[in-house]
A and B are shown apart, each in its own frame.
Chain A
């Protein structure tokens, strides 16, 4: 079997890549925190309170709480997608960060594994920020919401895959428009962040079942709202499947791009 398609073989050096990204992030803490806290505050105030005024309650919970739970999941999607496309491309092409790393014992598998962990770490930080804001607004109904934090990490891994694949196949930043318009935005709008998917036409409901964000929301929302989580194995299974397939393909395409 050609080297490119062999199973990923990352080493502990993946953590060096993670640490490097963390050190850069820490330097830009101001803008990072504005992004992490600013966006959810706008969503929760603007849509949660504004739109929520007309929507009223969603069964037993307020629209604000319903939305907050969805935004925890969608922010994992957004954060990991931005990091996996724009930031990974920046390090791969214009900044040549990976080429510098590759003159050391670090290899491509370490780099991509480190980037997956970093995407997931940022998704987690973002989910913590949103839960904090939601909690302060009284929109967190249960301490079970803390379990949403590791699930956000898993979602970050899941959404990192397709984003990194996109970054390593794109000739320039412009090509990310395909990814965001055809994959990220449809998930953001259709997978139940703003409304329960049960209100969609049946065909549409079947379609969104294929998308990982639907399952992320199905896990996270009941945890935040203090409701019972159902079909845990199915939801985790879909997210895990996306994660593993995405990871395998991402490693293969980055090897093809960097090890030539």
Chain B
């Protein structure tokens, strides 16, 4: 068994003249949570579709769970659990029927599927809704049902495409806990998300894509330490004023964000000392995070 669940070499894809994925190389190790981040239009969705075997490769090679894609897509999908952005549940079936019919697509016998569905629904706290139709469920319940459905075939690799978008904090924390549990069971998780906090908390390893290229790859901590200064002060003043006030502190990097100025530094204490002497200046002192890296690398302008 290979140590890697995904091995992409020079993976490319173009739609007409437009190159969407431009010859990317990466390996996703087994048993980790691996993130693919990037702004809209970065090529994440196309990459994931190729990984699922639902899109022909433009060029390069791709192995998933040891199988060549997309030719062996059916073999791979038998071992995948996919939670897509659109829950795509069957509106005419009840919660339980949705799981049982989906299990049938994997050749799972009914006497195996039923107890498994019931235990997954219990884990997702949906037991009381077993006989309800999806239309009567809240957004958080629908997403939990989607996750339960993705687990029906006891997958080796779970693909979560923006799993917590639009959910309340309780559900997000539930999903994060579940994900940690899957990793403990030895499953591998491929995650795409727009929430950098989520990626930072969960991903062992990640890559950042922009315009079809991988622009950064590594663990969240190593990426942050390599790409930005360790500490940030968000100061509620314009950039010129900040530069004047902090002219005696060395090695500062400023960035204007709306009516705030972000001040990146390795010596936050000196900056804080300077600012504390002033009245009427409000600021927030925090460690640098993945969002700082992401915005520094992909730019602050809107992507769509």
Seen from chain A, the residues whose Cβ lies within 8 Å of a Cβ on chain B are 3, 11, 13, 16, 19-20, 23-24, 27-28, 95-97, 99-107, 258-260
Contact = CB atoms under 8 A, between A and B. Distances in A.
B73 interface: yes
A102 B71 CA distance: 14
Interface stretch (B86-94, B117-125, B213-221): B86-94
B86 A96 contact: yes
A63 to B, nearest CB: 40
B160 interface: no
B4 to A, nearest CB: 22
A32 B143 CA distance: 31
Contacts of B245: none
A95 B88 contact: yes
Interface residues of B, number: 30
14 contacts: A3-B56, A20-B90, A20-B101, A23-B97, A24-B90, A95-B90, A96-B88, A99-B88, A100-B90, A103-B77, A103-B84, A104-B106, A107-B74, A258-B54
A16 B88 contact: no
B104 interface: yes
Nearest to A17: B105
Q: Which among A13, A102, A105, A107 has the greatest number of chain B C-beta atoms within 10 A?
A: A105
Main DSSP-derived SS at the B contact region: loop
Closest CB pairs A-B (n = 5): A96-B88, A103-B82, A104-B105, A100-B88, A105-B74
Contacts of B73: 107
B55 A104 contact: no
B55 A260 contact: yes
A28 B133 CA distance: 14
Interface of B: 15, 49, 52, 54-56, 73-75, 77-78, 80, 82, 84, 86, 88-93, 97, 101-102, 104-107, 150, 153
Contacts of A99: 84, 86, 88
Given A103-B77, A104-B78, A104-B105, 10 more contacts: A3-B56, A20-B101, A24-B93, A95-B88, A100-B84, A102-B54, A104-B77, A105-B105, A105-B106, A259-B55
Contacts of A96: 86, 88
Contacts of B49: 260
Contacts of B77: 102-105
A101 B56 contact: no
Contacts of B90: 20, 24, 95, 97, 100
Q: Which among B52, B73, B102, B105 has the greatest number of chain A C-beta atoms within 10 A?
A: B105
B88 A97 contact: yes
A19 B80 CA distance: 23
Contacts of A13: 105
Nearest to A23: B101
A99 B45 CA distance: 14
Given A103-B77, A104-B77, A95 B105 contact: no
A123 to B, nearest CB: 21
Contact of B92 (A11, A24, A100, A260): A24
B177 to A, nearest CB: 23
B102 A104 contact: yes
Contact of B89 (A16, A28, A100, A104): A100
A243 B249 CA distance: 79
Given A104-B105, A106-B105, A259-B54, A27 B92 contact: yes
A259 B71 CA distance: 12
A21 B73 CA distance: 24
Nearest to B104: A16
B135 to A, nearest CB: 12
A19 B75 CA distance: 22
A104 B78 CA distance: 6
A103 B51 CA distance: 11
Nearest to A107: B74
Contacts of A105: 74-75, 77-78, 105-107
